[in-house]
Amino acid sequence: MQPEGPAEQIRSMLARIAHLADTGSVEDYVEQFTREAEWNMPANPDRGIPAQVRRGREEIAAGVRERRAAGIQGPGTFTRHVTTAIAVDVTSETTARADAVWTFYVDTTTTPKLSGVGSYADEFELEDERWRLSRRVISRG
């Protein structure tokens, strides 16, 4: 059963993205994005990640696979993305925006450590009768 309003559907989808980044399949993760989505991440020298702009599900999936292969995130890495303070603004019947705070934890099975904090500036579109992320700009700090 879908939550009733668009804002609640979007909040649920943002939680799902965080869960899928840590424990889900790459395919299920990228299914949360529009076909032409854009994903922007600044450099993260602490984790050895250069700045990235990925466009479309295939490029976004490639980035996820790279981070998983490097042991940075995903099943078996004992990391967690936490998304909070989500403010959703439904801008039309088919578009919305949200701002959220993220935290990233490592070593979650032993001594969990906060590894990063930042924000998401997200845009959404109604595609194939469900809300999907169409643009994410990630900021650190």
Token pair 């042991």: residue: 71
Rounded to whole angstroms, the Cα distance separating 118 from 138 reads 7
- What is the dihedral angle through the alpha carbons of 56, 29, 74, 97, rounded to the nearest 10 degrees? 80
Rounded to whole angstroms, the Cα distance separating 101 from 139 reads 9
Overall size of the chain counted in residues:
141
6-18 mean pLDDT: 96
Rounded to whole angstroms, the Cα distance separating 64 from 71 reads 11
Instruction: Using a cut of 0.85, tell me whether the model's pTM lies above it.
Output: yes
pLDDT score recorded for residue 115: 93
pLDDT digits (tens, 9 = 90+) for 109-140: 999 999 999 999 999 999 999 999 999 999 99
In whole numbers, what is the pLDDT of the chain averaged over residues? 95
Q: What's the pLDDT band for 47 if we cut at 50, 70, 90?
A: confident
User: CB-based burial of residue 56 (10 Å sphere; 0-12 exposed, 13-18 middle, 19+ buried)?
Assistant: middle
Q: Which of residues 64 and 48 earns the better pLDDT score?
A: 64
User: CB-based burial of residue 76 (10 Å sphere; 0-12 exposed, 13-18 middle, 19+ buried)?
Assistant: exposed
Residue 29 sits at φ, ψ, to 5 deg, of -60, -55
